[in-house]
Amino acid sequence: MKPAWRDELLTEYAGLADKLERLLPCLEVPMHLPWIDAIQALKRERGAVVMAHSYQSPEIFHGVADVTGDSLALAQAAADCDAGVVVLCGVHFMAETAKILAPHVKVLIPDALAGCSLADSITAADVRMLRARHPGAPVVTYVNTSADVKAESDACCTSANAVQVVEAMGADKVIFLPDRYLGAHVASQTDVQLVLWDGRCEVHETFTAAQARHARERFDARLVAHPECPPEVLAEADFVGSTSAMGAWLEREQPERVALITECSMADNLRLRFPATEFIKPCNLCPHMKRITLPNIHACLRDLVPEVTVPEDVAIRARRALERMLAVGRGERI
């Protein structure tokens, strides 16, 4: 059932409405406010925390999320979480990661079909096959993978800390999974020999060097690209970095115009932090991230489903790989 409109909503949420009207068509905002109000009430009733990835739409990212960030930030937040219920506004592997790191918490995802093409590109059997082909080589696995794949790995990483994790393994050769483009980027920054898998992100792999050049030449924009993009796109960029690193670069450089070569909502959600910067968007939408909506967040909190679970034997092994990743972020030896 759709939440009812109350005239007081525009007063109660005046600050939020002002933010959202700078990021969304203004006529959309009054439609979002009743859902936001109802979700806030359910959060209080359930003692729930809503975590949202940076690729979520502004009405979710700014409207209902308690914790926001890239996959590393959400993993760290899950590990430290003391709430009884977490609603993970992202894709399925992120909800699995939260459950693995916070096994005592009920972890919900608003749409159980919010998957990931990159996570689907590799299986646990594939990892075992690679280990057999390269005996003794440790496996570093990007967090954009299933719990089963993480459980077969020695350590996980994100795009923000991939080089650190690879070098922390103390090996001359490392199996790096599953994104080929991220792996090639990491290989260019380390002397460790990487064995790569041919996995790709459907959002980032479709960007082209011609699009990047057009953004620069047509709009005189600086180019910032995610390392999951093809190497010819990265070669055009002024900066290559993770979701969090992009924000740090913008803070440091304060460009007049910038093209973020990544998922579209990333630029939307950064525009509030950097009002003096014009964001050019040669972007692609992630169809899986966009399965998450205010109505299904509301239904998720109301009914406490779909719940994400991970078999205990898988969770124990996957948690070990994730904890090694977090230890590297704390500067600890692994």
Tokens of 325: 């990743």
Least confidently predicted of 108-112, 151-155, 185-189, 244-248: 244-248
Residue-level pLDDT at 284: 87
294-333 as b/e, with b when 16 or more CB fall inside 10 Å? bebbbbbbeeeebebebeeebbebbbbbbbbbbebbeeee
Q: Is 243 annotated as a binding residue?
A: yes
Q: Could you write out the DSSP letters of every residue in 86-155?
A: EEEES-HHHHHHHHHH-TTSEEE-S-TT---TTGGG--HHHHHHHHHHSTT--EEEESSS-HHHHHT-SE
Residue-level pLDDT at 73: 85
Least confidently predicted of 8-12, 182-186, 234-238, 321-325: 8-12
Q: What is the mean pLDDT of the chain?
A: 94
Residue-level pLDDT at 243: 87
In this structure, CATH architecture of domain 119-200+311-329:
3-Layer(aba) Sandwich (3.40)
Which pLDDT band holds residue 67 (cuts at 50, 70, 90)?
very high
DSSP secondary structure letter of residue 123: -
Q: Is 203 annotated as a binding residue?
A: no
pLDDT over 80 at 72, yes or no? no
Grouping H, G, I as helix, E, B as strand and the rest as coil, residue 206 is: coil
Least confidently predicted of 41-45, 80-84, 181-185: 80-84
Q: Is 296 annotated as a binding residue?
A: no
Please identify which residue in the block is written with the tokens 């690729």: 55
Please identify which residue in the block is written with the tokens 């439609």: 31
pLDDT over 80 at 282, yes or no? no
Residue 68 β-bridge partners: 52
Residue-level pLDDT at 333: 65
Tokens of 208: 């082209």
Tokens of 80: 């430290």
Average pLDDT of span 236-261? 95
**In sequence order, what are the residues at sequence separation of 6 or more whose Cβ sits closer than 8 angstroms to the Cβ of residue 233?**
207, 208, 209, 211, 212, 225, 261
Q: In the chain, what percentage of residues exceed pLDDT 90?
A: 85
Average pLDDT of span 15-35? 92
Q: What strands, in cross-sheet order, belong to the sheet with 173-177?
A: 155-157, 139-142, 173-177, 193-196
Q: Is 227 annotated as a binding residue?
A: yes
Q: Is 298 annotated as a binding residue?
A: no
Q: Is 161 annotated as a binding residue?
A: no
Residue-level pLDDT at 165: 96
Residue-level pLDDT at 295: 98
Q: Is 201 annotated as a binding residue?
A: yes
Q: In the chain, what percentage of residues exceed pLDDT 70?
A: 99
pLDDT over 90 at 303, yes or no? yes
Q: What totals of helices (H) and strands (E) does the chain contain, helices first?
A: 16, 12
Q: Is 300 annotated as a binding residue?
A: no
- Write the pLDDT tens digit of every residue in 137-169: 999 999 999 999 999 999 999 998 999 999 999
Question: Which of 158, 93, 24, 42 shows the shortest CA–CA distance to 289?
Answer: 93
Higher pLDDT, 163 or 71: 163
Where in the chain is CATH 3.40.50.10800? 9-116+289-303, 119-200+311-329, 209-280
Q: Is 275 annotated as a binding residue?
A: no
Average pLDDT of span 64-88? 90
Which pLDDT band holds residue 179 (cuts at 50, 70, 90)?
very high
Sign of CA dihedral 198, 203, 206, 208: negative
Q: Is 323 annotated as a binding residue?
A: no
Average pLDDT of span 70-91? 89
In this structure, CATH architecture of domain 209-280:
3-Layer(aba) Sandwich (3.40)
Residue-level pLDDT at 249: 97
Identify the CATH class of 9-116+289-303.
Answer: alpha beta
Q: Is 62 annotated as a binding residue?
A: no
- Phi, psi for residue 139 in degrees, rounded to 5: -110, 120
Residue-level pLDDT at 334: 67
pLDDT over 90 at 2, yes or no? no
Least confidently predicted of 56-60, 117-121, 157-161: 157-161
The Cα 12–Cα 194 span in angstroms is 54
Sign of CA dihedral 313, 126, 134, 240: negative
pLDDT over 90 at 331, yes or no? no
Least confidently predicted of 32-36, 85-89, 269-273, 290-294: 269-273
The Cα 86–Cα 82 span in angstroms is 10
Which pLDDT band holds residue 5 (cuts at 50, 70, 90)?
confident
